[in-house]
């Protein structure tokens, strides 16, 4: 309203422009992340943090999408979760993408569940929904760029098909595991296992490290007196 009060029509247009711009920024961001992952240029910045701090910001990010479909969240976090060594921004991206997919493929008024617990030396995270689910053929292609289970010109659900590809790439960088359990018409549960102590990025033992400088063979000194030896014979 800097230039004056907007009419209802202009306010609607401004809202559409804002929503479209936000959507395009998200698509561009996913394309950039995917290109960095495929080129091996996505660098993890690992540090210790409490897994609990991931949930609330991620739920807030997905909140508007959930409210539009009247989807509610249920969370179950184990008490006393250990500090995990990981890239916090990357972990947030993983959880946001999983939550967004769960909401998108949920039915109107559905429920999305999130759990976090310790499983040995791993952090165990699940995001489940009771939505449209997937068949075995679709599950086999999970993680492939641009793949969507509901594909084609008549598909009902928007998206680039990059979300789970990015999720899988980020989990792989952490040396973790992504598991999928789904049944068409019943729902989907995505399970993420992340190593609590972080990915193995330490150098090998010193004795196994190749020296920076190669050891050169001792130089062969030419005989300075070849002619004298010949004459002595």
> Which pLDDT value is given to residue 177?
93
pLDDT for 209: 41
The answer to whether residue 79 scores a pLDDT higher than 60 is: yes
Q: How much is the average pLDDT of 111-139?
A: 92
Distance CA 54, CA 227 (A): 83
- The CB density around residue 201, as the number of other CB atoms within 10 Å, is 9
Is there a contact between 186 and 130 (Cβ–Cβ < 8 Å)?
yes
The pLDDT value given to residue 13? 83
Give the residue among 105, 102, 184 at the shortest CA–CA distance from 137.
184
Identify which of 32-36, 90-94, 147-151 has the greatest average pLDDT: 90-94
Q: What is the pLDDT of residues 185-230, one digit of tens each?
A: 899 999 999 999 998 754 344 334 434 344 444 454 455 555 444 4
Q: How many CA atoms lie within 13 A of 195 on its CB side?
A: 13
**Residues 190, 185, 135, 152, CA torsion sign:** negative
Model confidence pLDDT, tens digit, residues 42-77: 778 899 999 999 999 899 889 989 999 999 999 999
Taking the C-alpha atoms of residue 71 and residue 50, their distance in angstroms, rounded to an integer, is 27
Question: Whole-model pTM above 0.85?
Answer: no
Own/partner long-range contacts of 65-69 (Cβ < 8 Å, ≥24 apart): 65/100, 65/103, 65/104, 66/103, 66/112, 69/103, 69/106, 69/108, 69/109, 69/110
| Digit-coded pLDDT (tens) for 146-182 | 455 554 433 454 444 577 888 888 898 899 999 999 8
The span from the CA of 90 to the CA of 103, in Å, is 20
Question: Count of residues for the chain?
Answer: 233
178, 143 contact by CB (below 8 A)? yes
Distance of alpha carbon 185 from alpha carbon 179, whole angstroms = 19
Report residue 143's pLDDT band, with 50, 70 and 90 as the boundaries: low
* Residues 95-110, mean pLDDT to the nearest whole number: 92
Do 160 and 87 form a contact (C-beta atoms < 8 A)? no
């Amino acid at each position: 309203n800097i230039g004056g009060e907007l009419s209802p029509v202009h306010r609607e247009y401004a809202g559409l422009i804002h929503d479209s711009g936000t959507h395009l920024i998200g698509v561009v961001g996913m394309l950039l992340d995917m290109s960095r992952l495929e080129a091996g240029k996505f660098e993890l910045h690992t540090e210790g943090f409490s897994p609990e701090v991931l949930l609330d910001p991620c739920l807030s990010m997905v909140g508007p999408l959930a409210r539009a479909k009247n989807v509610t969240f249920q969370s179950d976090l184990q008490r006393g979760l250990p500090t995990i060594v990981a890239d916090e921004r990357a972990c947030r991206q993983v959880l946001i993408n999983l939550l967004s997919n769960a909401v998108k493929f949920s039915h109107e008024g559905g429920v999305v569940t999130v759990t976090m617990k310790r499983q040995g030396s791993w952090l165990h995270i699940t995001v489940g929904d009771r939505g449209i689910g997937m068949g075995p053929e679709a599950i086999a292609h999970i993680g492939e760029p641009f793949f969507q289970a509901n594909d084609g010109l008549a598909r009902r659900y928007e998206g680039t098909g990059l979300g789970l590809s990015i999720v899988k790439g980020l989990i792989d960088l952490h040396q973790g595991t992504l598991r999928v359990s789904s049944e068409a018409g019943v729902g989907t549960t995505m399970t993420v296992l992340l190593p609590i102590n972080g990915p193995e990025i330490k150098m090998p033992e010193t004795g196994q490290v190749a020296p920076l400088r190669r050891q050169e063979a001792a130089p062969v000194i030419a005989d300075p007196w070849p002619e004298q030896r010949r004459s002595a014979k």
